[in-house]
Structure 1
């Protein structure tokens, strides 16, 4: 750690530029990307940038205080369609790549998103939230005042609920709108609604001949009780829909091969419920035959890395090469993500993997561009050369990185109680001195089926900057170590996952004599919040704890979480009516009398994933027992507070966490 630079602060979160969604031009000579920052109004703004591969200087294409994202090049590379909130709602806009002002394409009442060109450039398909009787030919965008009045009127009316799946942490309470696919004819400038079923339709791709649309949806009669997501083909001429998958799994990230003869996609059939690894499938569009290319692999396909600064989407694959013999995709393995290549025989090859986080990529005309984050660099774009080496294209956050000292993680591998190998990382504190003792914080990730690893994580770096040794690990249940490992915590929450974490602490205390064993802290969010609650109810070795967006009572979680009705069964093996005693035994609240560790509870008031009543129960019980506890509530914040909440709320959260440890450690 470079102590000639200043230590990181929570407020530095405001100064980090986050890159995402690289998209190569059709000829592969240049690319666009999205840059997201926090503006002076405490709001996120996203701008489109363009860069020729022969030049180091990107060109900014959009400048307004809005979110501009999801760019898509026309086949001839002369235009870009993108979505922007500059008019108030996400709408589609078009701009010429040789300059000029952007032109608004849609004025849909509830917005329009995710545009994609047909291969002949004659039409665009996009997504739009529509009610049953909406007419796409006469859509009119409401003014800000009209939207505000409509929102006020909505809050004066009761909400009638008659579905099992009726709310989402991301979207709140569902209404009568469904995501439908709409076609925009470039020449005629007309709109045509393609899908109408009473479900959400997720656009995937357009066939090379322009005759079919590929989408995912659950069109089953019992969709409200199922989590399946099938692949479908929609024929633009006949208006017929053809089902490609068997109705037993979840599929997505689907793409036609260049000739249209095949489709590649990720998916699985819930063999291990929510802990199931993705597979890579290839579907023959003529015969309907489905081939699994990944049946001999034991890695997670896609990006399972967890962090707190990744704003914006990016492609993780699969993407075809031009001759249809190879597919590219991102894979998650041993604390890192890399770029992989596979042929149609299933022969796997690592194109690029290092101690970092490949968060997205784009491929065209033999050119590969990767978006990469490291523990000490939030993001940059690189061209992957034929020799496997990288050429850096951008210099994001140059001023921030030249001013702030960040801690380089030390990778650890240790044995759990039963001999399983567990991976983790340790950050030394700012201004570290040999011979000096430092307080310690154990961080526990959420999921539980996610992965800590080699990426930038502001919260972890902040604690190191505040003078703590920070340990973060991937106990069993984490992605990155194969199917058996990620499945191993199911029906055993608070069992060997807990002892894995305690083994990590024991190992760190044994190996690093600069850790003060009398000043240990612990924190985590979501599943990590559950585990923090569990830990303070089962050991008093920690002198301070912070539980974030936690779970305390599985009996109530079943009925209040947006995922509780299936997640409880998936992870604990039982639903509420199956075995309430078992759920209570898994609940940290049961062990509240044992808690002697000062506990800070932080939670977003609009969290529908782990609703705030979970924290309310924990707080009230501990306070009633006269324990040392404090409760910080964040108005308007949902489960994503730490990652994409209001910037000032995110900073306040970080300062509360650091302040609690400062008080007790």
Structure 2
């Protein structure tokens, strides 16, 4: 008798190979390593086309052989109907994609050599001229115009490529170089009619005539910055550039300030921008303001009206108002303000009850709403301000980080980047109310299929003064009940910053090595309101320390599998300060790794880039509160340290200078504490974020080496330089 198989049995038999393959795949997944960084794809800067159908964005990959990052522009369909495709493929990086108002061109920045681009397939190619090498300087009643660019300087620019604006036609063809500014283009924006760009470029007297000396000669308190190094005579100013032929006209000038963040008025006749025109921009002034200037140059109109920092000007769609962020008092959380675009009037609050730090301010809904993004309780999300009622509403939700949104008001759609604790950023599209969300990209999927990554759990505990503090815990890979595990306490930088549920490569690396990860948001953290963030005033090393140590005890009570006898501690910048402070006040940690850390407030104040930058933290400057500055310096308590410490620092760190690491290391050695100092060449304070790829990976391996040696008791652990 012939047996007939049931449909359900047939389906089961068909699925068995797939289920078996999936099971085998899961069984063969591995923990992440520092070297997996070389395989990451990073997404950034998404922008929707004017018709709402396409999204341009940047994907950055690591070229391990050349030890550099390579960025290219990609384009994807907003509705997901077509797979994403690479739009630029030059050997030089391309970034900052910006759509022309008619959507026919994509402008971007690149430092590719001049003379290698054609535009044969673009409309009107025969009328496109070679970029002008001699921009016309604008006259200004406020300051004399800086010298124009000479043909000799243009030649020098060609010999040493700087970032310039390129145009790429959407219907085919090669990129065409538009600008030929000697010092390149820092940022740019299309004019509303698509005929011009406003750009920020740097200019200085040395462009026209080189000094006879190579010494650095300064007249102001501020003369260096961590990200850019020692100041020269160049200042950032605004230029208006013809998109057809590259002719450029400088419209702002001055040697005592920089101009930034230019924004076209809707009718294209004016430009709003940010500048500190007090004449003291390099002498501790924080008074940046919003200004408006004609697109032809000329007299400035002041828009903002606060004595502290005013930034991020954004024109209302009808051009009658300018929204901006601003502070009334030092260290205030910025509020969103509205002011008439004609100037000479008081600004008014745009949003009531805003107690977060807004960024990426954007008008939408034909001027009825303002959108912004911000960190909130360990997450990052988009918020909406109703302009009429001044009410605030959260748009995106969930345990994730939503950043870099862009809105197309015509279609009512927006795009944004999303990451979480176990995924790097991908691109999403949604309605402006957050509904109808769709994933557009799936970067790093091949790598994710190989890896076993951990999730994070949030818990809340009581800190100093009974304040609620958020803590987060990630279990080690392969966690099993009934077993004890070493745990690493990580402390974030800032202190004005926050930890949360977004991606942290180092935490996944720790977990893959069998170490749990504990981290908290003590007072001083952002995302919990101004009172919480400024709760660190006069409290460095006091209530913030209590917040953190209460978190350790709360975790030990809540998670009995944490091994109290195998605790490590680490952190960078403020987190490095707190790591140093902790080991000087308790011996409960068996190993410490301190990165870019502060040890002595006395010397730091006079050598860091932000001179006397801790005045607001200690109720006065170093000379007024000298004893307090020393009392809160970890170096004062070095004789109490018993914990083995690894010190990682960069030789070009101007935020927390190398001498801080040297003082700490020498004092530890003086008192016989097991310690090692590792100095990374060519790096600054941002080593673990934007450092050379090989150094970023090596810094993680140094941390593994130290914790393996002292948490795992591996006396044969080998340092990465051996």
Q: TM-score, normalised by structure 1?
A: 0.92
Q: Number of residue pairs matched?
A: 631
- Which one of 271, 275, 287 corresponds to residue 217 of structure 1? 275
Label 1:180 to 1:164 Cα distance change in 2 as closer, same or farther (>3 A).
same
1:490-528 residue CA offsets vs partner (Å, 9 max, x unmatched):
211000100111001001111111111000000000000
SS in 1 for 2:326: strand
In the other structure, the counterpart of 2:229 is 172
Question: What are the ranges of 5 or more consecutive residues in structure 2 without an aligned counterpart?
Answer: 1-24, 114-160, 712-722
Distance 1:630 1:187, change over 3 A: closer
Change (3 A) 1:81 1:172: same
Is 1:27 the counterpart of 2:73 in the alignment?
A: no
Deviation at 1:86, TM superposition (A): 1.9
Counterpart pick for 2:347 among 290, 297, 300:
290
Residue 493 (structure 1) aligns with: 540
**2: CA distance between counterparts of 1:533 and 1:632?**
16
Q: Is the 8 A contact 1:550 1:615 kept in 2?
A: yes
Aligned to 2:336: 280
- Alignment-derived partner of residue 392 in structure 2: 348
Task: Provide the C-alpha distance between the structure 2 equivalents of 1:389 and 1:477, rounded to a whole number of angstroms.
Answer: 36
Q: Distance in 1 between matches of 2:668 and 2:696?
A: 26
Higher relative contact order (CA 8 A, sep 6+): 1
Matched, 1:528 2:575: yes
Moved more, 538-547 or 96-105: 96-105
Match in the other structure for 1:229: 288
Higher mean alpha-carbon deviation, 422-431 vs 47-56, is at: 47-56
Distance in 1 of aligned mates of 2:278 and 2:430: 43
- Corresponding residue for 1:590? 636
Deviation at 1:576, TM superposition (A): 2.1
- Please give the alpha-carbon distance, in whole angstroms, between the structure 2 residues aligned to 1:237 and 1:621: 59
Q: Which SS does the other structure have where 1:433 is aligned?
A: coil
Out of 126, 133, 142, the position equivalent to 2:199 is: 126
Deviates more, 1:452-461 or 1:222-231: 222-231
1:168-218 per-residue CA deviation (whole Å, 9 max, x = no partner) reads 001101000001111111345311001112221103310111110111010
- Aligned partners of 2:683 and 2:691 also within 8 Å: yes
Mark the CA change 1:208 to 1:133 in structure 2 (over 3 Å): closer, same or farther.
farther
Distance 2:668 2:585 in 1: 15
Given that 1:75 and 1:121 are in contact with CA atoms closer than 8 Å, whether structure 2 keeps it comes out as yes
2:413 aligned with 1:360: no
Q: Deviations over 1:195-244 (max 9, x none)?
A: 11222110331011111011101011333320121100011346111111
For 1:327 and 1:2, how far apart are their aligned partners in 2? 45
- After superposition, the C-alpha distances for 1:547-596 in whole angstroms (9 at most, x for unaligned) are 1100000000110000132x121222232221322111010000000000
The 5-angstrom pairing of residues 118-517 of structure 1 reads: 118-132=191-205, 157-198=214-255, 199-225=257-283, 226-237=285-296, 239-269=298-328, 271=329, 273-274=330-331, 276-286=332-342, 288-302=345-359, 317-344=360-387, 345-364=389-408, 365=410, 366-385=412-431, 388-517=435-564
How far apart are residue 370 of structure 1 and its match? 1.5
**175-184 or 56-65, which deviates more:** 56-65
Cα distance, 1:266 vs. partner? 2.0
Q: Pairwise CA RMSD of aligned residues?
A: 1.8
Partners in 2 of 1:639 and 1:510 — Cα distance? 36
Structure having the higher Rg: 2
Q: Distance in 2 between matches of 1:85 and 1:186?
A: 18
| 3-state SS, counterpart of residue 558 of structure 1 | helix
Query: Residue 659 of structure 1 aligns with which residue?
Result: 705
1:47 counterpart (63, 72, 92):
72
- Aligned equivalents of 2:642 and 2:297: distance in 1? 68
Deviation at 1:4, TM superposition (A): 4.3
Contact 2:224/2:230, CA 8 A, preserved across alignment: yes
The equivalent residue for 2:714 is none
Shift of 1:163: 1.1
- Going from structure 1 to structure 2, the CA distance change for 1:99 and 1:429 (only over 3 Å counts) comes to same
Say whether 1:639 aligns with 2:685: yes
- Alpha-carbon displacement from aligned partner over 1:333-385 (angstroms, at most 9, x marks no partner): 11111111111121112211211001210101211111111111101111113
Residues 1:3 and 1:467: Cα distance change in structure 2 (over 3 Å): farther
Which stretch shows the higher mean deviation, 655-664 or 572-581?
572-581
Note the C-alpha offset of 1:133: 7.6
For residues 322 and 341 of structure 1, what CA distance do their matches in structure 2 show?
11
Question: 1: distance between equivalents of 2:449 and 2:668?
Answer: 45
Indicate the residue corresponding to 2:586 in structure 1. Answer: 539
Conserved 8 A contact 1:204-1:252: no
C-alpha displacement of 1:609 = 0.1
Distance 1:324 1:235 in 2: 23
Q: CA contact under 8 A between 1:181 and 1:203: conserved in structure 2?
A: no
Sort the Cα spacing of 1:363 and 1:547 in 2 relative to 1 into closer, same or farther, 3 A. same
Q: Report deviation, 1:3.
A: 6.0
Partners of 2:168 and 2:176 within 8 A in 1: yes
Cα distance in 2 between the residues matched to 1:534 and 1:431? 33
Match of 2:84 in 1: 58
